[in-house]
Copies of this chain bind each other. A is one copy, B any other.
């Protein structure tokens, strides 16, 4: 069934009670996850955006432009976020040997340590998931994978 005929004739999936409830539950998960993330960041005197950039750079140093792509924001915003992380000694800008226009942002030792403690303080993994058995977590993983289309 193509999307046009589905929209025209069939009842949309979102209108059934089961789908609506799942969407609402996902909304609750999203809200809780977001709140916990902001709270964990605040405990280290970081904003959510600063924590996200620091976590990103801990995986791999990258050009300012690429950070903006990851954050889905304009490159001009990244300048300020990295500025504030740099002032606090958590991140540094390095020249890119291959292209002198590019600046590579990389975490300092202190930045990596802060990122590590930040990850540890995210209780989201423990609290709600601890209530599920290994088998149930496997089922949940597979359902989420399929929901997200395997690609992630």
Residues of A at the B interface (CB closer than 8 Å) are 12-14, 18-23, 25-30, 32-35, 72, 124-126, 128-132, 134, 136-141, 143-149, 152
A115 to chain B, nearest CB (A): 15
- Looking at chain A's contact residues, the main secondary structure is helix
B131–A147 CB distance below 8 A: yes
Supposing A13-B126, A147-B129 touch, asked if A33 and B27 sit within 8 A by C-beta, the answer is: yes
Whether the Cβ atoms of B29 and A26 lie closer than 8 Å is yes
CB-defined A-B contacts under 8 Å, sample of 26: A12-B126, A14-B126, A18-B134, A18-B137, A18-B141, A20-B125, A22-B140, A23-B124, A23-B125, A25-B148, A25-B152, A26-B33, A26-B124, A26-B144, A28-B144, A28-B152, A29-B148, A30-B30, A30-B33, A128-B147, A128-B148, A128-B149, A131-B146, A131-B149, A132-B147, A143-B143
